[in-house]
Structure formats: structure tokens, C-alpha cells
Structure 1
Amino acid sequence: MEDQFTNFRDRFEATPDRHEGLSYDEVESRLTSSKRTALAWMEQTGGDPNVVALNGRLVIVDTAKESPAGRRSVCFDESARLSRKKNAPAASVESMIEMLEVHLLTPEQYQELQTQFSFDEKTSSWLKTPDLIRQKGGALFGDRRYETTFIYHNGADSYYASRGFRVCIELD
């Protein structure tokens, strides 16, 4: 694999408990060209991607301790970003991932990951939001405080320096 994936391989090999019985060669053989592009983007934006079992499936997911630094200060989606009358951010979650083979974490995936390792103790991450909530102008996000995982809501047009988002790549 190219040099750009050295950190990914090192991270994978340093945490065998997250993907028991899986070899790196097996992971590499499942990485299509578009998945390699997405993985490179995850690394470049600070996601610390690694392979984990999530809802019984193997995925590559952001395992950074805090929400990836290169994906913060963004609105939930483009319609929310464009609806801001003042101080619109440069991007939205939607615009950043639209050309990649990645998926925004669901609240259920976020909660399951929090049982495997703790993250977002100082930051928060936007989560996939049901259409009904989004149609009413809201969006979901999660964080971990007081050794507890919380799922909250906010206006989809809001953005904060400490809120980013996490994604996953399906390997199956």
C-alpha cells in the first residue's frame, strides 16, 4: 500500500482488539479505489481511521479522541449553510463528503462506538439525522461528558469550533 497509508496500517496493527482475527492484508484487499480516496481524506482531515466491528459489520471509522480537526466549524448540510443570513461557514458536512464513499455516523453507531472507546470528551460530532427532524430545521449531534454518551439536537445551521463530524467506510 502507498506510503500515505502507513499511519493507517500502524494504527491497525497497534489495536488488534478492535478487529480481532482480521489481517491487514484482508483489509487492503477490500479497499477499492474510491475507498482508498475516502481513507486518504479521513487521514488528511485528522480522523485517525481504524477498522472496528460496528453493529456486527467491519468498517473503517474515525477513532480520533476528539472530533477531527479538519472537519470542524461546519453546518449540517448545504441548505442550512445557505440559509444563514450572517457568518455562513465555508462548508457543510454534506459538501465535504458528497464525492466520497463514506457515511455519516448514525446515533446508534455513535453510541455503540462509545462502548468500545471514549471520544468527543471536549468536542462534539454531527450525526445522521432523520428526515423529519431535518425538515423542521434541526440536526443531531453527540458527545461524551461525565462518562455518559449524549445525543442532542441543534439548529442545522449552527456551527461551532468544537463541533465536527465522524464518518465510516463499509468494508463488507
Structure 2
Amino acid sequence: MKTVNGNKNKLSPAQREELLGALKARFEKNMKRHKGLEWAKVQARLEANPGKLWSLHEMERTGGEPDVVGYDKKTGECIFYDCSEESPKGRRSVCYDRESLDSRKEHKPENNAMNMAAAMGIELLTEEQYRELQQLGEFDTKTSSWVQTPPEIRKLGGALFCDRRYDTVFVYHNGAPSYYAARGFRGSLKI
């Protein structure tokens, strides 16, 4: 993990302000994603959770364009998803998890989706979350994204990914060790 001023997972004041500015601009540009929610409430949550702000920075840095897609009234948490048009560029060409990476004998990718997400402090979208995201726009029309895979499928060597083609969301399977230049992963974060 990167360090700033010797502190793990902490943004400098300039990074913090730049990120908050980008998040606010995206929030205001895409109000249909979070109807009825005010930026002031979101910003208060962000400022109260600097560690989570670092995770959002990592989502932004890797091309995810995180935005608020929901609000949990019980906990007061804001729910962020990667809302980039295509699978985040800084998270492509990765296999599914560490086990799949270790199983490759040659032509190993540099990383895997599950470890990258954990290092960023986020979770891969589930299939259900991916479908929710697709209700807010058209995503992954040229790329695809790994999604959380049920243990019974993963145990058999497979992993799931999704995309949008022909105005339809598709869920597919592949061997977990596979990786492609057009496949990455999208994450979620509750703050």
C-alpha cells in the first residue's frame, strides 16, 4: 500500500481536497444515481471516515470513477460503486483470486481481482449489485467485470463475470485463472 507522509492509507490535504472536488462534481452531474440525497450529508460521512476516503481515492486512481448509488437509512451509510463507463483501466488483465494466480504455470498476470480489492479496502460487486448498477446507466458495453463468485462454483475452478451487450446484462463463467485485457473488476464501498 502506498504511504503519504509516512502514514499508510492516509491522504495528504491536497489529495483529500482534489478527491472531494472530483466526487462532488460527479455526484452533481449524475443526480439520477442518488435521488433525494444531498452532497452535504455525503461529505460529512466522508470527512468522518478518512480511511474510507483513502479507499475511494484508490477507486478513483485506478479509473473506477466512484459515485454514490445508495443510502442505507438504518446505518446512515452511503454506498459507492465504481461507475466508470467501462471496467476500470487500472484493474484489468487480472485473474480472479490468489489461488487462480498461483495455479498459472506461465504468462501470469501481475495481480488478481480479489487481492487488489482487499488492498484497496473495497469488495467486488456481487451479481445483484452489478445488475443494480446497470439500472443506473449502460456500463461495460465493450469490457467485462469479474463479480463475486459463489464458493461452490469457485471450488470447481470457475469464476463469474458480467457485461452488457444488446441492451442486456449477461453473466458468464470462465476458469478463474483466465485474464483478458478487457476484463477487470468493479468495487463497492460503504461509508
Q: Give the match for residue 65 of structure 2.
A: 48
Q: Give the match for residue 38 of structure 2.
A: 23
Q: Give the match for residue 162 of structure 1.
A: 182
Paired residues for 1:6-155 under 5 Å: 6-31=21-46, 32-53=49-70, 58-155=78-175
Hey, what's the Cα distance between the residues in 2 that align with 1:154 and 1:79?
A: 15
Hey, what's the Cα distance between the residues in 2 that align with 1:30 and 1:101?
A: 16
> How big is each residue's C-alpha offset from its partner over 1:34-53, in whole Å with a ceiling of 9 and x where there is no partner?
21011000110011111112
SS of corresponding position for 2:145:
strand
Residue type at the aligned position of 1:156: A
Hey, what's the Cα distance between the residues in 2 that align with 1:61 and 1:54?
A: 12
1:18 Cα deviation from its structure 2 partner: 1.3
Contact 2:72 2:79 survives alignment (8 Å): no
> How big is each residue's C-alpha offset from its partner over 1:86-111, in whole Å with a ceiling of 9 and x where there is no partner?
10001001221223331110001111
Residue type at the aligned position of 1:150: F
Residue type at the aligned position of 2:66: P
Runs of 4+ in 1 over 6 A off after TM superposition: 54-57
Moved more, 30-39 or 51-60: 51-60
1:55 Cα deviation from its structure 2 partner: 9.3
Q: RCO (CA 8 Å, sep 6+): is it higher in 1 or 2? A: 1
> How big is each residue's C-alpha offset from its partner over 1:40-72, in whole Å with a ceiling of 9 and x where there is no partner?
001100111111128998411111110000000
Hey, what's the Cα distance between the residues in 1 that align with 2:37 and 2:109?
A: 40
Hey, what's the Cα distance between the residues in 2 that align with 1:86 and 1:62?
A: 31
SS of corresponding position for 1:121:
coil
Hey, what's the Cα distance between the residues in 2 that align with 1:28 and 1:55?
A: 15
| RMSD (CA atoms) | 1.7
Contact 2:45 2:78 survives alignment (8 Å): no
Q: Can you give the 5+ residue segments of structure 1 that lack an aligned partner in the other structure?
A: none
Contact 1:51 1:60 survives alignment (8 Å): yes
Q: Which of these two proteins has the greater Rg computed from alpha carbons? A: 2
Contact 1:74 1:91 survives alignment (8 Å): yes
Q: Normalising by the residue count of structure 2, what TM-score does the alignment of the two structures yield?
A: 0.84
1:30 Cα deviation from its structure 2 partner: 1.5
Identity fraction in percent: 47
Residue type at the aligned position of 2:54: T
Q: Normalising by the residue count of structure 1, what TM-score does the alignment of the two structures yield?
A: 0.93
For these two proteins, the number of residue pairs brought into alignment is 171
* 1:116/1:39 CA distance change after superposition, 3 Å: same
SS of corresponding position for 1:160:
coil
Residue type at the aligned position of 2:62: T
